[in-house]
Amino acid sequence: MWEDSLRAVGAEPAVLSVEEYRARQQRIFSQLRPDDLLIITAPQESTRSNDVQYPYRSSSDLLYLTGWADPEATMIAHSEQGKWLVTLFVQPKDVLMEIWEGRRPGTEGAVAEWAVDCAESHSDLKSILDERLSKCTRVLVKTGVDYDIDEIVTEALQANSRARQRYGSGPISIEDPSRRISELRLRKSEGEISQMRHSAKVASQAHIQAMKNTRPGVGEWQLEGVIEGLFKYARTSGTAYPCIIGSGDNATVLHYTVNDDICEDGEILLIDAGCEYRGYASDITRSWPVNGKFSEAQTEIYQLVLDSQLAAIDKCRIGNPYDAPHEEARRVLAEGLINLGIITQTLEEALDPENGELKKWYMHNTGHWIGLDVHDVGVYRPDDEARVFEEGMVITVEPGLYFGSWRPDVECPPRYSDIGIRIEDDVLITTDGPDVLSSDCPKTIVEIEAIVGTA
C-alpha cells in the first residue's frame, strides 16, 4: 500500500561487517593498559505491566561495540599475552524458552557470527566476572545501567581491598569508559552513514505520507498512525522517540506528545518524528498548514524559520565550532523578527541571553549530535572549548519560532497567534560541505503546498 514510498527509500544498505566491530573494539583497546578489565553493560529488561515487557532496546555502547541487540547481554574484554579477548555473555540456547520467546543465537551463534572471541551463558556471568575482576587492577565500567553488575564490581572492589593487603592483587580503581567510546561514536564511519541515510530516507517518506493525509478534521493520532505504520512497513524498528504531532496551539509546545487533538482548518501542524534503523536514529521536523495553503502571517514566520535553517546548515562545515549553526540561526531569526515588528530591540539587544527578546519565541538550541542515540553522545565543550566540526560528525539543525497564545509569560502578537514552526534536518559534515541526510523531505512553501492533502 506504500510501495511508492518504499521505492523512494530505495534498497537497504549492507549490514555493518564483523571487521568494522573488531576495528571499533581495537580503537578502545589501544587506549587501555594490559591489566585493565573492560565491561560493557546493557539495561535489564523492564516490565510494562504484569508479565508483559517493554520492547527491549540494548545500550548504544554495546550495540556500537558488538551489534548484539538481545537482552541479558554483557561484554567484557581482557588482555592475555598482549592480545585483547572479547567475551560476550548471552542468553543460552534453551528449547523451552525459545518456544515461548523466540529463537536465540546462543553462545555458538554469538561466536560464529559476531565480533567476539568467546561467548558464555549469562547465568555464568557472576563466577566468570569475579575471576576476571580478581586479576585486574582497573575496571572500566559504566555504573547505573545493570545493577547486578554494579553489585558484583562493588563487592570485588571491597573484597580485593582486603585481599590486596595480603596478596597484592585485585582491582583498585574504577573508570567510566563512556567518554572514550563517545569520542569514537561522534565520528561516523561510511557504514554508519549508510544506515543513518536510510533511516532519514524512511522518516522523510513518513513525513510526506503525513502531509498527503493532512486535511481539516483529521486527528493528530491518525497521522501518528500513518507515520508509525510506514516506519514499520519499511522494516525499521519503529520510532526513535515518541512522535510530536501538534496542531494549532499544540504546535507551540516543544515536546507535545499527547497527539489526541483534531487538526482544524487554518492551523499549522508541526510534526517531529524519526525512526530507528538497525539502531540508528533519524530526527526530522516539518510544519505545514492543515488546509494546504499558508496564510500570509504563516508564510512570514515559515519563510523566516526556513531562511534561518538554510543559513545554519551552511555553517555545518569542517573547522567551524559546533555552535556556529546556532549563532547563525539566532541572528537570522532576530533580524527577521525585528523586520516584522515583533521585536522592538536592536539586533544586539535581541540576542542578549539575559534580556534579549528572541528567547521569548525561540527558547531551545539549534541542534544536537545524532547517531545510535537521537540525542547522541559526544562532549560539546571538551576542556570548555567549543568542539570544532570534523568529517563524519552528524548534527541536527532545527530552528523554530513558537507563538503560543496560551502562554501567561508573554504577550503573543495576535497576527501570529498559535503559529508554531520548527524545521529540522540531519546534517553530515563532509569535506564537500554539509550533506543533508534528510534532504528527501520537502520544505519549501511551494513543495509543501503541492503535497498537503493530496492523498
Judged by beta carbon, residue 128 or residue 436, the one nearer Mn ion is 436
Judged by beta carbon, residue 283 or residue 373, the one nearer Mn ion is 283
What residues from 355 to 374 belong to the interface with Mn ion (CB under 5 A)?
none
R_g of the chain computed on alpha carbons: 25
Judged by beta carbon, residue 236 or residue 396, the one nearer Mn ion is 396
Query: Given 36, 120, 249, 424, which residue is catalytic?
Result: 424
What residues from 244 to 283 belong to the interface with Mn ion (CB under 5 A)?
283
Q: How many residues bind Mn ion (CB under 5 A)?
A: 2
Query: Given 331, 364, 407, 415, which residue is catalytic?
Result: 364
Reply yes or no on whether 326 is catalytic.
no
Reply yes or no on whether 207 is catalytic.
no
Binding of residue 72 to Mn ion (CB under 5 A): no
Of 422, 302, 323, nearest to 367 (Cα)?
323
Judged by beta carbon, residue 418 or residue 424, the one nearer Mn ion is 424
Judged by beta carbon, residue 28 or residue 395, the one nearer Mn ion is 395
Reply yes or no on whether 375 is catalytic.
yes
Query: Given 36, 220, 249, 272, which residue is catalytic?
Result: 272
Task: Give the integer Cα–Cα distance in Å for 352 and 336.
Answer: 16
The least CB distance from residue 398 to Mn ion, in Å, is 5
Task: Give the integer Cα–Cα distance in Å for 128 and 204.
Answer: 46
The least CB distance from residue 424 to Mn ion, in Å, is 5
Judged by beta carbon, residue 59 or residue 285, the one nearer Mn ion is 285
Query: Given 375, 380, 381, 391, which residue is catalytic?
Result: 375
DSSP-derived pairing of the beta strands 276-277 and 36-40: unpaired
Cell of 122: 549469562
The least CB distance from residue 367 to Mn ion, in Å, is 7
Task: Give the integer Cα–Cα distance in Å for 214 and 290.
Answer: 6
State residue 86 phi and psi, 5-degree precision.
Answer: -100, 125
Per-residue binding string, Mn ion, 145-184, x by CB under 5 A, is ----------------------------------------
Query: Given 283, 357, 418, 440, which residue is catalytic?
Result: 283
The least CB distance from residue 425 to Mn ion, in Å, is 10
Query: Given 261, 402, 416, 440, which residue is catalytic?
Result: 402
The least CB distance from residue 381 to Mn ion, in Å, is 19
Question: In this structure, are residues 427 and 394 in contact, taking their beta carbons and an 8 Å threshold?
Answer: yes
Per-residue binding string, Mn ion, 374-413, x by CB under 5 A, is ----------------------x-----------------
Reply yes or no on whether 220 is catalytic.
no
Q: b or e along 175-193 (b: 16 or more beta carbons within 10 Å of the residue's beta carbon)?
A: eebbebbbbbbbebeeebb
Judged by beta carbon, residue 61 or residue 426, the one nearer Mn ion is 426
Reply yes or no on whether 409 is catalytic.
no
Reply yes or no on whether 364 is catalytic.
yes
Query: Given 255, 390, 391, 447, which residue is catalytic?
Result: 255
Reply yes or no on whether 122 is catalytic.
no
Reply yes or no on whether 352 is catalytic.
no
- List C-alpha distances in Å: 51 to 63, 147, 148, 359: 26, 21, 21, 46
State residue 425 phi and psi, 5-degree precision.
Answer: -130, 165
The least CB distance from residue 241 to Mn ion, in Å, is 8
Judged by beta carbon, residue 283 or residue 376, the one nearer Mn ion is 283
Judged by beta carbon, residue 36 or residue 373, the one nearer Mn ion is 373
The least CB distance from residue 434 to Mn ion, in Å, is 16
Q: Which residue is nearest to Mn ion, using beta carbons?
A: 283
The least CB distance from residue 271 to Mn ion, in Å, is 12
Reply yes or no on whether 272 is catalytic.
yes
Reply yes or no on whether 402 is catalytic.
yes
Binding-site ranges for Mn ion (CB under 5 A): 283, 396
**Residues classed as catalytic:** 51, 255, 272, 283, 364, 368, 375, 398, 402, 422, 424
